[in-house]
Amino acid sequence: MGKPTGFLEYERMTSEAVEPKERIKNFNEFHTPLSKEQQQKQGARCMACGVPFCQAGMEVGGMTSGCPLNNLVPEWNDLVYAGNYEEAYRRLKKTNNFPEFTSRVCPALCGAACTCGLNGDPVSVKENENAIIENAYEKGYAAANPPKVRTGKRIAVVGSGPSGLAAADQLNKRGHSVTVFERSDRVGGLLMYGIPNMKLEKQFIDRKVEVMKEEGVEFVVNANVGKDVKAAKLLKEYDKVILACGSSNPRDINVPGRDAKGIYFAVDFLTATTKSLLDSNLKDGKYISAKGKKVVIIGGGDTGNDCVGTSIRHGAASVTQIEMMPKLPDCRAEDNPWPVWPRVCKTDYGQEEAIAVFGHDPRVYQTTVKEFIKDKNGNVCKVVTVKLEPKKDEKTGRMMMSEVAGSEATMDADLVLIAAGFLGAQKYVADAFGVSLNERTNVATKPGKYSTDVNNVFVAGDMHRGQSLVVWAIREGREVAREVDLSLMGYTNI
């Protein structure tokens, strides 16, 4: 695969990012792609390693190593090197319905497991993937290809996030008639409103949705199934129903003063900004503004980072990001060897921008919130924090983060954003269909299965597995489609 000596001859290159102080002037994606010639050299770096961990998608050391979609990475790296972008697209699409999304927002589990990264820099797999799919749209390879035969079977998909879209795409290609119901005003779910434009411009979602429409998938927006649209109606009118509504309950911070005004969940903050941006370029004022405010973000993950970048674009006076856990090491620790996912400190785009604008990293580690303080008008004005330290629980033996006595501190805050993750399926949807939930409040199924305990109702994505990555949601969508097809036809070729 690739050029046998490519990894020795060529250095890793990735698309160039616009400087932080320049890119914060808008909400656009900010990377300039490599030229085709440069990208072919990156494909040449794939080293014919014999055991391609990049495509394994298996659990190693309690974490996923390689692509959960089992993308045929060495094959299309070789095809990029050879300049055969059309066949590279065909190989890529065999496993991934939406490379235009994953090549932008996936953390690249493939690259982390690349053998070339054992003693050097891994192949720029995600960059190659993006080059393949964008070339395919440019040359027309990614144009609509409707199924030639229809089965007469009808399927309703509830939710248009990555799992719902993947299930719809697979089942439509099989020849079934698929209708996707979305409660928001735009198709895309998490992709549309949960991920900021800087990471995924919405034109790329719309582009793919238009292709799916041309191929025969029907989309119904502003359709809140379980409230505005009755579950009984879907069960009556469709042969099968797939629930793909995400893990939609934000984890809260229940401390004194939580009722103060000016405290929001991160998902509401990000959604409002994106909707206003798409509706009016932020001119309608229908969003939670961070302009001129001292912003405190609770949570250190991707969503917290997105809040940092969005707040800076609003014109925040300051941004602080509170993380419960200790700072990860800058390099792999001995107990975190390749090809296990590298547990190392990553300075993401939002943090880079905060460093450029404010002169320091916004993250405060091993800290949590103990109280919110209100002013006389009931607005949050300060946050009381306390330091944490890892201690072993005597009963379970697990390491827990415990408060350090006397370490309380106070910081000013005009706007607080809670980015502490999500817990389980929204109950009103589960109740509407009568499906059972498990102990994690996700919809229950047998291990490795997607059928619920209600006849003809299936589940996939975060609603099934809990909060996870877009790439996992796509895999679940593909797998539920296979199970639904088997139940409809008695066999499956998906």
Q: pLDDT class for 103, splitting at 50, 70, 90?
A: very high
Q: pLDDT class for 268, splitting at 50, 70, 90?
A: very high
354 with 458, same domain? no
351 with 389, same domain? yes
Distance CA 347, CA 349 (A): 7
Distance CA 182, CA 104 (A): 23
> Where is the domain boundary, 108, 139, 170?
139
413 with 276, same domain? yes
Average pLDDT of span 56-82 = 93
**pLDDT tens-digit series, residues 224-254:** 999 999 999 999 999 999 999 999 899 999 9
Residue 150 has pLDDT above 80, yes or no: yes
Residue 454 has pLDDT above 90, yes or no: yes
Residue 466 has pLDDT above 90, yes or no: yes
Using CB atoms within 10 Å of the CB of residue 17, give its burial: 0 to 12 exposed, 13 to 18 middle, 19+ buried: middle
237 with 299, same domain? no
Residue 448 has pLDDT above 70, yes or no: yes
pLDDT value for 364 = 97
Task: Give bridge partners of residue 458 from the DSSP assignment.
Answer: 242, 451
Question: 392 is written with which tokens?
Answer: 């072993």
pTM: 0.96
**pLDDT tens-digit series, residues 74-99:** 999 999 999 999 999 999 999 999 99
Does residue 145 form part of some domain? no
Distance CA 154, CA 257 (A): 50
Neighbouring CB atoms inside 10 A of 305's CB total 27
Residue 393 has pLDDT above 80, yes or no: yes
Among candidates 226, 190, 198, 221, which has minimal Cα distance to 98?
190
pLDDT value for 1 = 60
127 with 191, same domain? no
401 with 451, same domain? no
Does residue 17 form part of some domain? yes
Q: pLDDT class for 398, splitting at 50, 70, 90?
A: confident
Does residue 252 form part of some domain? no
18 with 118, same domain? yes
Average pLDDT of span 268-273 = 98
- Residue 377 sits in which domain range? 263-418
Q: How much of the chain exceeds pLDDT 70, in percent?
A: 100
> Where is the domain boundary, 403, 418, 433?
418
**pLDDT tens-digit series, residues 400-439:** 999 999 999 999 999 999 999 999 999 999 999 999 999 9
Q: How many domains does the chain have?
A: 3
Q: pLDDT class for 394, splitting at 50, 70, 90?
A: confident
Q: What is the mean pLDDT of the chain?
A: 96
**pLDDT tens-digit series, residues 175-211:** 999 999 999 999 999 999 999 999 999 999 999 999 9
Residue 48 has pLDDT above 90, yes or no: no
Residue type at position 146: P
What's CA 236's distance to the chain center, in Å?
33
